[in-house]
Structure formats: C-alpha cells, structure tokens
C-alpha cells in the first residue's frame, strides 16, 4: 500500500511548547505522519516559537493586539493557514480564543489539548497551573488530559481522547502538572495520527475513532 502524504499541521502555542516538542519528536521518530507547516504564537517570547526557529520550522508571531480590528486579524490568520496549506490546526498550550470565522472555515479540523478531564476544570481563565490548583482545591482523586475538537467557546467541543491520572495525597501543582503533561505528550501526537489516518468521524458532539476492519 502506498504511504499517505504527511498531514500538514499548524501548531499554535503561547508558552513553553513542550507539547510542540512532543509532536516534533513523534514526527522525527516516525510515529507521526505529519508535517509542521508552521508554528503560530500570540506571544513573541513563547518558548515554542524559539524551538520552531531553532528547528527550521516557519514561526510566526501574530496577535489581535497588532491589529486595529478583529476582522483584519482574522483575515491574516486565515491567509497564513491557507498559504501553508494547513489541513489540521493543533492548539498546544494556546491561550487565545480562535476567531469564529477560522473555526467555521476549519470546522472539525481544529483540536486543543487541555490538562484536565473536560468538562470539569475548563473554560475561560482555567489554563495551565490554574487547572491543577483547582483540581487539588476540589480534592479530586483523579484528573487527566483531554484532546477535544475546538468550537467557538473555550474548552467546550467534543472530546477525541481522554486519559486519567491519579491525584496523590502528596501532590503539588508541579507534581500533578508533570504527571498530566506526560499523558498530554502521548495523546496529542496520537490524536494527530488518527486524523492523518482518516480515522476520525464526528456526529454532533460525539467523536468516533474508526477501528480497522478485522
């Protein structure tokens, strides 16, 4: 069977970019049939942008703050995605809302990783360490990570993959974050590969993973 051409992806980051690195490594190791066409960040100092530049990946700083109006910003964003023939947008620690026009143009083709089991501990203002603090404050016994389809709101689209981790009695925000991050680094590349293989089908909020024929 001929190998499919790599799925062209854009990775959006706002911070360190460890999820970007996990995608990059999965591609390098031959576990993920994708190509990072570009990395986009709303923050010029994002570690993820530096990583992209060091590894010869197109890295672009673009933020609504640079534009007089949202319409121009949205158009620029759409042009970037079109110009780089992006097939899947991956939000990997990206903390800005995606404009509605982009969500509509890339319907069911934008995914996000969230460091909790949605719909718990999600929504505007709940990101990064704040999520783990909220999980500890609530006294949860399990938490985890969710990869979900992106819609017009924060963290509300249907889950594609969710995986749990235990919350231990002596956990701090840092220990919990690192246990969850380990899971994130597994399930985000895995989800992208499912898209690359054309194994995802979506009905309403429900996302199905098509199994191979026996």
Binding site for ligand GAR (CB under 6 A): 13, 15-19, 92-93, 113-115, 127-128, 131, 181, 184
Q: Which of 31, 61, 84, 114 is catalytic?
A: 114
d(CA 62, CA 47): 15
Minimum CB–partner distance for residue 197 and ligand GAR (Å): 23
By beta carbon distance, the residue nearest ligand GAR is 93
**Residue 150 gets which letter from DSSP?**
-
Q: Which residue matches tokens 């992209």?
A: 52
61 in helix, strand or coil? strand
**Active site annotation includes 148:** no
Please, which residue, 71 or 164, has the CB nearer to ligand GAR? 164
Please, which residue, 75 or 158, has the CB nearer to ligand GAR? 158
Minimum CB–partner distance for residue 209 and ligand GAR (Å): 21
Question: Considering only CA atoms, which of 100, 73, 105, 74 is closest in space to residue 88?
Answer: 105
Question: 165, exposed or middle or buried, with CB in 10 Å at 0-12, 13-18, 19+?
Answer: middle
Please, which residue, 102 or 113, has the CB nearer to ligand GAR? 113
| Active centre residues (catalytic) | 114
């Amino acid at each position: 069977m001929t190998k499919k051409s790599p799925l062209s992806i854009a990775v959006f980051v706002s911070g360190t970019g460890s999820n970007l690195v996990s995608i990059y490594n999965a591609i390098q190791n031959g576990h993920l049939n994708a190509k990072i066409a570009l990395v986009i960040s709303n923050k010029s100092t994002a570690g993820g942008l530096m990583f992209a530049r060091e590894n010869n990946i197109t890295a672009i700083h673009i933020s609504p703050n640079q534009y007089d109006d949202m319409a121009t910003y949205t158009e620029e964003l759409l042009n970037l995605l079109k110009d780089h023939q992006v097939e899947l947008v991956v939000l990997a620690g990206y903390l800005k809302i995606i404009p509605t026009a982009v969500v509509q143009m890339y319907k069911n083709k934008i995914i996000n990783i969230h460091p909790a089991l949605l719909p718990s501990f999600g929504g505007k203002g709940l990101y990064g360490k704040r999520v783990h603090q909220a999980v500890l404050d609530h006294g949860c016994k399990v938490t985890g990570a969710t990869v979900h389809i992106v819609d017009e709101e924060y963290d509300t689209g249907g889950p594609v993959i969710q995986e749990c981790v235990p919350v231990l009695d002596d956990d701090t925000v840092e220990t919990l974050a690192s246990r969850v991050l380990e899971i994130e680094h597994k399930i985000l590349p895995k989800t992208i590969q499912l898209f690359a293989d054309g194994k995802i089908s979506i009905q309403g909020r429900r996302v199905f993973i098509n199994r191979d024929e026996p």
